[in-house]
Amino acid sequence: MGDKLRLFIGILGNGASMLLYTAPILTFSRVFKKKSTEEFSCFPYVMTLLNCLIYTWYGLPIVSHLWENLPLVTINGVGIFLESLFIFIYFYYSSPKEKVKVGVIFVPVVVVLFGLTAVISAVVFDEPRHRKSFVGSVGLVASISMYGSPLVVMKKVIETKSVEYMPFYLSFFSFLASSLWLAYGLLSHDLFLASPNMVGTPLGILQLILYCKYKNKETPIITTVMSKWDDEKNKRELELVVDVDHDGHAKEKKFNYAC
């Protein structure tokens, strides 16, 4: 019964993680249309890629016992592909300054850290339990960094009182996935799987609270500005103010009006 429940939770965790990894598609469709990354940060995608690489390695038979963590391998393998694609798109449309940031973060963090983890675990440690402990410890740090990376965005939300750069679906699926993997780790008696999600779950809840608090904060501003316009004299400018994209975000941020 215990193994069946663990497998069921693992399948649900896979589904939630798939939703989490595909949620940025909405963000990058906006990047495609505007041909700009605007104020979106690449850091969460880099840390998610590192997390996927580490836990794919953790779930392989070279670290885990046979295929006991197959659900971990399958979903993180998909995550590697998707996050690599998102980072490539971000790099392509970002400014020269942002390209440098991506290079500085991506190369040392992902390539060097994962490469060292894989080599050391395969060469240095002979006993499987030591190998698993080492990779699990690195994965623990990577997961906490992944779940903590939205803190930068959360700070921006509090400062601007706007959720424009913190998509709801990303926050919701992050909470859902971390909750399910927390349950999977506890059922597996694997603290390396459960521990990072003890951090991810409350952070996901905090993001949802912030979203609910600030999601409608921009409406009064637009309403106030609209009340000061003369419809005939400033028709073109009025259209710019109220023009929104498919996500409901205002396309024009400058409210130049004449009273």
In terms of residue numbers, what domain contains 97? 2-214
Summarize pLDDT for 170-215 with one digit per residue, the tens. Answer: 889 889 999 999 999 898 888 888 888 898 899 899 999 999 988 8
97 lies in the same domain as 170: yes
175 lies in the same domain as 226: no
9 lies in the same domain as 121: yes
156 lies in the same domain as 227: no
User: 3-state SS string over 178-225?
Assistant: HHHHHHHHHHCCCHHHHHHHHHHHHHHHHHHHHHHHHCCCCHHHHHHH
**209 vs 180: CA distance, rounded Å:** 19
150 lies in the same domain as 223: no
166 lies in the same domain as 240: no
Question: How many structural domains compose the chain?
Answer: 2
The residue-averaged pLDDT of 77-93 equals 93
> 244: helix, coil or strand?
strand
209 lies in the same domain as 235: no
**78 vs 46: CA distance, rounded Å:** 15
Report which of 2, 166, 1, 139 is spatially closest to residue 59, judged by C-alpha positions: 139
Calculate the average pLDDT of the chain. Answer: 81
Identify the pLDDT of residue 89. Answer: 92
Identify the pLDDT of residue 218. Answer: 53
Does residue 229 carry a pLDDT above 50? no
The residue-averaged pLDDT of 133-149 equals 86
**219 vs 130: CA distance, rounded Å:** 55
208 lies in the same domain as 233: no
Identify the pLDDT of residue 225. Answer: 42
88 lies in the same domain as 31: yes
Identify the pLDDT of residue 1. Answer: 62
Residue 238: pLDDT band (50, 70, 90) is very low
71 lies in the same domain as 193: yes
